[in-house]
Amino acid sequence: MNSTTLLVILCVVVVCAVAFLSIPHSGKNKAAEKKVDPAEANKYALVAQDILKGIGGKDNVVSASYCTTRLRFVVKNYNQVNEQAVKAAGASGIIRPGKNACQVIVGTKVKSVYDELDKLLK
């Protein structure tokens, strides 16, 4: 085989692999596509609302994001953050790694709380 033939074969294999990986396959794990129970969503909305109050309200938030177990905030006024209020909202704790940064430890449900928090920040 010459190099041109090998190149054509390689291209065909790559195109087939990309096509195979981009096609949805039946038999996916339906448990992974769980819907959030409305009562749970309401619980997360209340937690997000209370955390936002403890952080100093919407006007004090410059930006918000999340990681594995934490809500990450950049705030305008560091002194408006009420750690006791944030903990009373259901957070395990709060970390202040910088002058205007706060990390609220929420736990494994952080994505659900963040989704509700994001709605409040808009």
Residue of 11, 16, 67, 102 marked catalytic: 67
Two tokens at 38?
A: 């409305």
Annotation says 16 is catalytic: no
Spatial distance between the Cα atoms of 99 and 75, rounded to a whole number of angstroms: 9
Q: Which residues contact 115 (CB under 8 A, 6 or more apart)?
A: 44
Residue with tokens 């934490």: 70
Catalogue the active-site residues: 67
